[in-house]
């Protein structure tokens, strides 16, 4: 998830059912506003047409910058043939009609929005078009075959026409066609084109409403004092000083801590600062990153649960002409969304209405209902724009939503719970910390004959409602993805997994397990290439001979980057290739290293094969975004613990990439007629190894831990 993998979909459906979802085989229309107030006619759950000829596409996936409020309407309009200038979007309510076509619940994650809707939304558009054509034909007493749809009108062969707005009411009374013929891709006029994003104008003029923008009459604001150590409990609270702060209305304990509820944010914040809380810090009071590192390193020396076994890696290693081994490690990472977590709740006796940016509508609605003591159908969620998600707003624990419901119970008024940046950074649900031990054996030609990889890190799925469906024989596939499916031709492969329980809450983070396995696998294959005395690009090509899509992006990135040609003095290039979420990405990074150990990334060339795509501009933007996100983690990101406490708090000690650090980025699309893959996450995994491999090419020093800070670079140079 940001995301849940595009794997084991049948199993995931079972997990989705646990959250109250269910695969929708026939699309039903959710209840709408009273008829008297309607100015738009619904032709199906996804298409509404106004009397002013505007066409509203109801979008069932959350918009967090990835472009679904444009790409999904494009899928509809490829068949609907509306005037794009009159197409609008609207966030879907929570309803089974809008459940994910594979995951059985309404959600956004796993880079799945386009591939999951590619067929359904085209069918919705085609069905609506046929109904509009049928309505016009009836009015003209003509055959539908003499009518065509074009740019928001139905046009008769005689030349007369009617707009969609004039036809919508009559069209809605017609039967919904069961079988509609979809266009051949050669006829596409929308899909594959770079159309302007529909959400850009309101984001530019300030009209776009994010969760933090929610405002209600009589609304109060809450901040919550959460435990300083994960798992800690409140022993006692002295709230007299907090209640004395002007504007503070209520101080109340809630399951996640102590809520201070006030007339505005600053009053609530000052009230929280004045609280005197005694905590029972529990068993994690002595948790430290150094201690976890030692535990993980010891585990990595022992066999784990087998995630993949082909041949006999141990025997092949013993017989190898040359053996190599290495240890890699990456830290916990925060999601660091630009918009901190927030949730607004208006709780009444028989209803609950919520305004928030969520990736998990079904799950959050059901959790809110349970917290409020209501039925799910009594809870309404208004999905706002998300100022970043990256998986944090797709939490099976539903932490920020349940917490806000409890605050609303205490407030007895509409209340907005706001997390500060410090709350967000220290609030948990991190990308897990990982430690990898990996070995390989080479033959006399330098080709790998054995590959043995032990992974140590927390399970994301374990302990969630998805565990029974997505953890098989103790293996959480989100821990081993990108490693157990090693694409390189090695005859003897063994991949093991340890999933220690540390008490630190973890969650999917943009590209999930690939975010660490991409770094480890692509760095180590680079090590093998250099040990074999081979060019890293040529070495990969030989080992990917049976993988045409890997080769396609690898070749394109190398070609466009000028691999093998001279670079400016003091620079070098590194290359990486990785598949995730059904898409194939290769990146070449050109870097330099300063005397202070600071890595500068000057240019990144990226080649992407995501199968059939919708909007090329979105592909490029998501690759650029993934590179920025991945570079932020590769060069800066780390959540560390000391005495049970998170040491980072804000962007000064958990930095993201600065403007002056941003490299030039080129993105090249490799044309493909394969089924669509994901695009929101796959740009992240290759960038860290491409940079690390370039550093090695430049300095001869291998960086096996992230982040690659000046301190770690200088230490490696010694």
Taking only the tens place, the pLDDT of each residue in 18-28 is 444 332 333 44
**Rounded CA gap, 506 and 503, in Å?**
9
Among the listed residues 227, 243, 217, 646, the one whose alpha carbon sits nearest the alpha carbon of residue 403? 227
Residue 609 predicted with pLDDT over 50: yes
pLDDT-derived band at 34 (thresholds 50, 70, 90) equals very low
Q: What per-residue confidence (pLDDT) applies to 39?
A: 81
Q: Does pLDDT of 221 surpass 60?
A: yes
Res 180 pLDDT > 50: yes
- pLDDT score of 718: 87
Fold of the domain spanning 289-334+430-509? Aldehyde Oxidoreductase; domain 4 (3.30.365)
Average pLDDT estimate for 65-93: 98
- CA neighbor of 621 nearest in space, from 40, 71, 29: 71
pLDDT at 8 over 70: no
Q: Is the pLDDT of residue 29 over 80?
A: no
Mean pLDDT value of segment 209-229: 98
Outline where 508-575 has alpha helix (H). 514-531, 536-543, 548-561
Residue 557 DSSP symbol: H
> Taking 80 as the threshold, does the pLDDT of residue 13 lie above it?
no
Q: How far apart are CA 467 and CA 416, in angstroms?
A: 32
Return mean pLDDT, the chain.
Answer: 95
pLDDT at 7 over 90: no
Segment 693-704 shows an average pLDDT of 98
What is the CATH architecture of 9-187? 2-Layer Sandwich (3.30)
Q: Which backbone phi and psi does 362 adopt, to 5 degrees?
A: -60, -50
- Written out in words, the top-level CATH class of the domain with range 209-285+341-418 is alpha beta
CA atoms within 13 A on the CB side of 601: 33
Instruction: Say what the pLDDT of residue 712 is.
Output: 96
A 10 A CB-CB count for 159 gives: 6
Question: What's the confidence (pLDDT) of residue 401?
Answer: 98
Q: In 280-303, which positions are buried (b, 16+ CB within 10 angstroms) versus exposed (e)? A: ebeebbebebeebeeebeebbeee
Kindly indicate the confidence band of residue 11, based on its pLDDT and cuts at 50, 70 and 90: low
Per-residue pLDDT, averaged over 580-596, amounts to 98
Q: What is the pLDDT of residue 2?
A: 45
Residue range 489-507: average pLDDT?
98
- The mean pLDDT value for 410-427 works out to 98
Nearest to 550 by CA among 604, 493, 609: 609
Tell me the angle at which helices 399-411 and 361-372 cross, rounded to the nearest 10 degrees: 30
Range 340-352 average pLDDT: 98
Lowest-confidence range among 31-45, 55-69, 202-216, 536-550?
31-45
Fold of the domain built from segment(s) 515-717: Aldehyde Oxidoreductase; domain 4 (3.30.365)
Residue 358 above 50 pLDDT?
yes
Average the pLDDT over 240-267 and give the result. Answer: 98
Is-above-0.85 flag for pTM? yes
Which of 542, 311, 314 is closest to 441 using CA atoms?
314
pLDDT reading at 30 higher than 80? no
Within its chain, how far is the Cα of 108 from the centroid?
8
**Which band of pLDDT confidence, cut at 50, 70 and 90, is reported for residue 178?**
confident
Q: Where in the chain is the domain with CATH 3.30.365.10?
A: 9-187, 209-285+341-418, 289-334+430-509, 515-717
């Amino acid at each position: 998830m940001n995301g849940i993998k595009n794997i084991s979909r049948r199993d995931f459906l079972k997990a989705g059912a646990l959250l109250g979802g269910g695969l929708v085989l026939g699309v039903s229309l959710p209840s709408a506003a009273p008829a008297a107030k309607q100015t738009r006619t619904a032709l199906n759950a996804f298409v509404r047409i106004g009397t002013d000829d505007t066409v509203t596409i109801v979008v069932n996936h959350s918009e967090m910058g990835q472009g679904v409020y444009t790409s999904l309407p494009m899928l509809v309009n490829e068949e609907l043939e509306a005037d794009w200038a009159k197409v609008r979007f609207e966030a879907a309510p929570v309803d089974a009609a809008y459940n994910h076509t594979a995951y059985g619940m309404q959600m956004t994650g796993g880079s799945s929005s386009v591939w999951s809707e590619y067929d359904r939304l085209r069918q919705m558009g085609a069905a609506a078009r046929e109904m509009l054509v049928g309505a016009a034909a009836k009015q003209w007493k003509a055959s539908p075959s003499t009518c065509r749809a074009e740019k928001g009108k139905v046009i008769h062969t005689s030349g007369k026409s009617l707009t969609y707005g004039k036809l919508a009411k009559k069209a809605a009374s017609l039967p919904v066609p069961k079988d509609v013929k979809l266009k051949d891709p050669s006829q596409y006029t929308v899909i594959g084109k770079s159309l302007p994003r529909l959400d850009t104008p309101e984001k530019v003029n300030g009209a776009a409403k994010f969760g933090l923008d929610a405002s209600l009459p009589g609304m109060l604001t809450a901040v919550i004092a959460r435990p300083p150590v994960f798992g800690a409990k409140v022993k006692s609270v002295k709230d007299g000083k907090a209640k004395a702060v002007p504007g503070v209305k209520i101080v109340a304990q809630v399951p996640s801590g102590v809520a201070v509820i006030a007339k505005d944010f600053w009053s609530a914040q000052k009230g929280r600062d004045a609280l005197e809380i005694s905590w029972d810090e529990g068993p994690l009071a002595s948790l430290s990153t150094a201690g976890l590192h030692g535990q993980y390193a010891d585990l990595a020396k022992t066999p784990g649960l087998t995630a993949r076994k082909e041949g006999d890696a141990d025997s092949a290693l013993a017989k190898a002409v040359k053996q190599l081994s290495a240890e890699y490690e990456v830290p916990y990472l925060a999601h660091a969304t630009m918009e901190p977590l927030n949730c607004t709740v208006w709780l009444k006796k028989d209803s609950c209405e919520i305004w928030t940016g969520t990736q998990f509508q079904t799950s959050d609605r059901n959790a809110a209902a349970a917290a409020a003591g209501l039925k799910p159908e009594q809870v309404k969620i208004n999905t706002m724009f998300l100022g970043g998600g990256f998986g944090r707003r797709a939490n099976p624990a539903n932490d920020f939503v349940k917490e806000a419901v409890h605050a609303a119970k205490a407030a007895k008024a509409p209340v907005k719970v706001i997390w500060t940046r410090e709350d967000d950074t220290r609030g948990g649900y991190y990308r897990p910390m990982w430690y990898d031990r990996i070995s390989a054996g080479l033959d006399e030609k330098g080709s790998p004959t054995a590959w043995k990889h032990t992974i140590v890190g927390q399970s994301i799925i374990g302990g969630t409602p998805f565990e029974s469906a997505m953890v098989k024989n103790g293996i959480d596939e989100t821990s081993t993805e990108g490693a157990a499916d090693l694409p390189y031709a090695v005859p003897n492969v063994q991949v093991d997994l340890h999933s220690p329980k540390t008490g630190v809450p973890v969650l999917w983070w943009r590209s999930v397990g690939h975010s660490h396995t991409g770094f480890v696998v692509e760095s180590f294959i680079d090590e093998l290439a250099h040990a074999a005395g081979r060019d890293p690009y040529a070495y990969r090509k030989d080992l990917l001979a049976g993988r045409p899509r890997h080769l396609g992006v690898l070749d394109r990135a190398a070609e466009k980057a000028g691999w093998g040609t001279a670079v400016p003095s003091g620079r070098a290039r590194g290359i990486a290739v990785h598949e995730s979420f059904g898409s194939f990405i290769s990146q070449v990074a050109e870097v330099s290293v300063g005397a202070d150990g600071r890595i500068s990334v000057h240019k990144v060339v990226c080649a992407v094969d995501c199968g059939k795509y919708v909007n090329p501009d979105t592909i490029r933007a998501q690759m650029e975004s993934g590179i920025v996100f991945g570079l932020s983690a590769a060069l800066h990101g780390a959540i560390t613990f000391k005495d049970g406490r998170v040491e980072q708090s804000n962007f000064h000690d958990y930095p993201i990439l600065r403007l002056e650090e941003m490299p030039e980025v080129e993105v090249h699309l490799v044309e493909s007629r394969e089924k669509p893959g994901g695009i929101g996450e796959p740009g992240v995994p290759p960038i860290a190894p491409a940079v690390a491999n370039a550093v090695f090419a430049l300095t001869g020093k291998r960086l096996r831990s992230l982040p690659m800070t000046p301190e770690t670079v200088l230490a490696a140079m010694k």
